[in-house]
Amino acid sequence: MKHNDNRGFLTFVVFFLIVFGLIGLYMGHKWYNNRYYIALYDDTMVRYLDVPPFGERVSPSIDELRGECILSVGTSAEQVKDFYKSFCDRNGYIFKATDYGLQIEIRKNYEIAGTFKDSKLILKWEPVLNDKQKAKAESLFRQDDK
């Protein structure tokens, strides 16, 4: 008799451990992506741009729906440019270093312009959003304007 009571309790405990473990994995993955990657929305496709080493995101990740991201770079502008140059070479993007910052061409008519100001890199681009992303962006940014 007692054996069956313990079995039910153990099943209950294992079930909740699995559920909480899956929730933890999901939340950890989301946190990791928001911290180390910049999402570039291109209709149904989402491309990711790496955050440079020793760099930190200053702006919230939801601003990517607007097409802007502010990074605090912990190194020199030249090192950041070298990092993005090698990143673009690996991923097939076109990189151009400028006097004021950098430019990355993801595809034709989809460019990211980056400018350095103090110890920050300000990235701006024009995201291509699908209907679901447009609705999400409108609802989020309408609340910000209030």
pLDDT per residue as tens, the chain (146 positions) = 455 667 888 888 999 999 999 999 989 888 877 788 898 888 888 888 988 888 889 988 888 888 899 999 888 889 999 999 999 999 999 999 988 899 999 988 899 999 999 889 999 999 888 888 888 878 877 765 54
Q: How many CB atoms lie within 10 A of CB 81?
A: 20
Q: Which two tokens stand for residue 121?
A: 């890199």
pLDDT value at residue 31: 83
pLDDT value at residue 145: 54
pTM: 0.76
pLDDT value at residue 36: 84
One-letter amino acid at 29 equals H
Instruction: Give the CB-side neighbour count of residue 15, counting CA atoms within 13 A.
Output: 6
pLDDT value at residue 1: 45
pLDDT value at residue 4: 62
Q: Which two tokens stand for residue 7?
A: 């079995």
pLDDT value at residue 122: 93
pLDDT value at residue 104: 94
pLDDT value at residue 17: 93
- Dihedral, CA atoms, 17, 18, 22, 27, nearest 10 degrees? 0
Please answer whether residues 95 and 89 qualify as being in contact, where contact means their C-beta atoms are separated by less than 8 angstroms.
yes
| For the chain, domain boundaries | 33-145
- 36-70: b or e for each residue (b if 16 or more CB lie within 10 Å)? ebbbbbeeeeeeebebbeebebebebebbbbbebb
Q: Which two tokens stand for residue 90?
A: 């690996």
